[in-house]
Amino acid sequence: NVWERIRITSQDRQDYLDEKTIEYINSYLKHPNQLSKLFEKGRYFIFFILEELERYNLPSELALLPYIESSYDPFSISSSGAMGIWQFMPATARIYGLKDSWWYEQRHDPLLSSKAAVRYLAYLHNRFKRNISYTLAAYNGGPTLLEKQIKLNKQSGKTTDYRNLKLPKQTLEYVPKFMAIRELVINSKKY
C-alpha cells in the first residue's frame, strides 16, 4: 500500500513539529471525513509519482505535495495561472518541457506533469543540498528568492532556517502544511 511505502521509505526523520505544523495537524484532524476524501483524490496518481520519485532517489513523502498544491486535482487552476496537480506556472512548465496549445495543456496531464515536477524537485533538492524544507520553500516561492534570503541572513549573522527567512506568508505556511500531511501519513498510528 502506498501509505506504508511512504512510511517505510521516508527520508526525512524529523521528529520535531513546530507550532504551525501542529496547528495544521489539528485542523486536519478536526475534519477526518474531509481528510479521508482528500487522501482518496490521489489514488489514481500517487503510485506513479512514487515510482518517479524513486527513479530520482527523492524522498517518497514528496508524493504528498500535490495534496497541498491542488488536492490532487488535475484541472485545478490558481488565480495566478498555475495549473494541474503540481500547480506549474507557465514559465516553469516550459522549462520542464510541458507544452500547451489551443487544444491541449500538458500541465493538466497528471502523468506528464508529474514527470516534469519530479525532475524539478530533483533539481531543487540537489540545489539546496537535500534539505526538504528548502526544497519545499523553493518549489513554492522560487529558488532565486530563497537563495537570496539565505544569503542575506548569513551576511547578517542570522539563522538560515526557512522560518527565519523573509519569505512570502504563503511560502512560510506551505512547509508546515506539507509537514502536517507528512506527519499524519508517516505516524498515522499515533493519530
Q: Give me the active site residues, please.
A: 69
- CA-to-CA distance for 121 and 135, rounded, in angstroms? 7
| Residue 145 near residue 172, CB atoms below 8 Å | no
Question: What SS3 state is found at 88?
Answer: strand
Question: How many Å apart are CA 62 and CA 42, to the nearest integer?
Answer: 13
Cα gap 149→121, rounded to integer Å:
20
Return phi, psi of residue 14, to 5°.
-70, 120
From 103, 107, 66, select the one nearest 90 (Cα to Cα).
107
Rounded to an integer, what distance in angstroms lies between the CA atom of residue 119 and that of residue 20?
Answer: 29
Q: Are 84 and 108 in contact (CB under 8 A)?
A: yes
